[in-house]
Amino acid sequence: MQSRAGRTRPQLLQAIFDAFRVPELRARILFTLGMLVIFRFVAHVPVPGVDQFALTNLFGGTEGVGQLLGMLDLLSGGALRNLSVAALGVYPYITSSIVMQLLVPAIPRLRALSKEGEYGRQRINQITHYATVPIALLQSYGQALLLLRAGVFGDMELFGPGLPLIIPLVLSMAAGTMFLVWLGELITERGIGNGISLIIFGGILAGLPQIVEQGFFGQSDPAGLMLLALIALAIICLIVVFTEAQRKIPVQYGRTVFRGGLARRAAGTSFIPLRVNTAGMIPLIFAFAVLILPATLASYFVVPGSSSIFARMAQGVVNLFGPASAVYWVALFFLVVIFALFYTMIVFSQMSLSENLQKQGGFIPGIRPGKPTEEYLSKTLMRISWGGALFLGFVAIVPFLAVLATNVQALQLSSFALLIMVGVALDTMRQLEAQLLMRRYEGFIR
């Protein structure tokens, strides 16, 4: 008998060949790849007035500001290191989307709008796009201020002669973000997969070769590198397991069928999939944003070479909340766990599972419809969400643990990047699988 591994490899290759044989699927795949290539071209278009030598020295520094920028650069796919017009990536849009998800259940008008079907979703999506613009402007101004104080723009003054240069700098970075959001929307509409997620995926993937090269050429410990590779492989497997893990709640439906002109009651069975990691990567984004904020604000007041008490205090805050501090990783773990549980309950309240079940004539065996069903689902989801929250907390601190175990400093293992890449890859594979099955081709996901 042929093993499962032996069957999976030919099926995957055959599925790729089948996808390219279908004209519509081939066009979608090529369109997606083309948009990603355009994104990488935009990521290398620099903003005006940058001192590349000073920028390179800043990113090569081992102090708090350099490490902070290095973390942000990984998420932008190297665009921040080049200080291109796409240095912000699509993260202002992600921030706007998260804020809208939190505001929808809190504001009655938005909550009512979310229940109006496709029209309501389009309106909320439009508001999200509008809110992205001021967020992008604020983030681009903050990054410009940070880099200006670090000497990346030479002797330019913020409110002096350099002010006319700051304005086009901020506008160009915000425009780059909106252009990437537009590319993501085009991919979602005409390509394969979620466009915004693929933009993030492409940026992280583009930055990995440079990070790996720095790690291998800057490290003389092959045993440490091998152990780091094994840790990365184990974390990827763990992410896949927890991403796909779910608790199936059995549901029965009573329905009416017509046979021979007579109406009869017939039962149907299904299940509600409650995912262990319902929150996805959102808690990591929240936690990183909260912890990066103090270091970012303090970095505005760091003056290189200054011996004043205020400048030393600002540098101390940057170091305390920087990736090299153990306090940073301990706080990150607890914040990720708290945000994961909090966000899961928000998502659950928006789904209105018990109300929808009652409208469709469904019920959970042994549980009364209505409030008891809601309480049962809430308790079950909270129990399994503890596993997902602790998993996310562990994944968040894996870079710190990997450095302690391998002593490899040059090659940073980003759990956030791994979680995004694995999640986007699985989602894109599911959509390609669905497209193949719609056209009566054999799938490849088991």
CB within 8 Å of 348: residues ≥ 6 apart: 278, 377, 378, 381
Q: Which of the pair, 442 or 207, is modelled with greater confidence? A: 207
Q: Tell me: the pLDDT tens digits for 150-160?
A: 667 665 554 44
Sorted by sequence, the CB contacts under 8 Å of residue 246 that are 6+ apart come out as 273, 274, 275, 276
- Domain 1-217+420-446 fold: Preprotein translocase SecY subunit (1.10.3370)
The DSSP 8-state label assigned to residue 84 in this structure reads B
* Dihedral sign of CA atoms 302, 303, 306, 310 in order: negative
Least confident of 7-11, 41-45, 264-268, 423-427: 7-11
Which amino acid would we find at residue 99? V
**Site of tokens 């994961």:** 340
Which of 13-17, 135-139, 311-315 is predicted most confidently? 135-139
- Which amino acid, one-letter code, is at 421? M
Q: Are 1-217+420-446 and 218-413 the same fold in CATH?
A: yes
* Cβ atoms of residues 38 and 183 within 8 Å: yes
pLDDT in tens, 398-426: 877 877 777 765 555 566 677 777 877 77
Tell me the C-alpha distance between 393 and 401, whole Å. Answer: 12
Q: Quick one: pLDDT at residue 265?
A: 47
Where does residue 352 fall: left (phi above 0), alpha (psi -120 to 50 degrees), or beta otherwise? Answer: left
Q: Is 87 helix (H, G, I), strand (E, B) or coil?
A: coil
Residue 60 has pLDDT above 70, yes or no: no
CATH superfamily of 218-413: SecY subunit domain (1.10.3370.10)
- 3-class SS letters over 247-277: EEEEEEEEEEEEECCEEEEEEEEEEEEEECC
pLDDT-derived band at 223 (thresholds 50, 70, 90) equals: confident
C-beta separation of 171 from 179 below 8 A? no
Supply 132's token pair: 């992205």
Using the CB atoms, write b or e for 220-259: b if 16+ within 10 Å: eeeebbebbeebbeebeebbeebbeeeeebebeeeeeeee
Q: Considering only CA atoms, which of 396, 197, 192 is closest in space to residue 277?
A: 396
Region 70-97: what's the mean pLDDT? 76
pLDDT of 388 over the 80 cut: yes
pLDDT at position 62 is 46
pLDDT at 182: 92
Instruction: Answer whether residue 54 shows pLDDT above 60.
Output: yes
DSSP assigned state of 407: -
At 264-280, the pLDDT tens digits run 444 567 778 888 888 77
49 pLDDT more than 80: no
Residues 6 or more apart whose CB falls under 8 angstroms from that of 60 comprise: 66
**Residue 217: its pLDDT value, please?**
60
Which residues are paired to 255 by β-bridges?
266
Distance between CA 319 and CA 299 in Å, rounded? 10
Establish how many alpha carbons lie within 13 A of residue 343's alpha carbon, considering only the half-sphere containing its beta carbon: 25
User: Tell me, what's the pLDDT at 316?
Assistant: 76
Token readout for 14 is 């055959």
Between 335 and 441, name the one with better pLDDT. 335
Q: Is 60 exceeded by the pLDDT of residue 262?
A: no
Return the pLDDT at 68.
Answer: 60
DSSP one-letter code for 67: H
Instruction: Provide the pLDDT confidence category of residue 178 given band limits of 50, 70 and 90.
Output: very high
pLDDT recorded at residue 9: 45
Q: What is the 3-state secondary structure (H, E, C) of 45-63?
A: CECCCCCHHHHHHHHCCCC
pTM to 2 decimal places? 0.74
Residue 65: phi and psi, rounded to 5, are -65, -45
76 pLDDT higher than 60: yes
| pLDDT attached to residue 201 | 82
Q: What is the pLDDT of residue 133?
A: 92
pLDDT at 288 over 70: yes
In the chain, where the domains are located:
1-217+420-446, 218-413
Higher pLDDT, 130 or 446: 130
What is the average per-residue pLDDT within 334-356? Answer: 81
pLDDT of residue 300 exceeding 50:
yes
Q: What's the whole-number average pLDDT of the chain?
A: 75
Residue with tokens 């590349």: 52
State the pLDDT at residue 263: 44
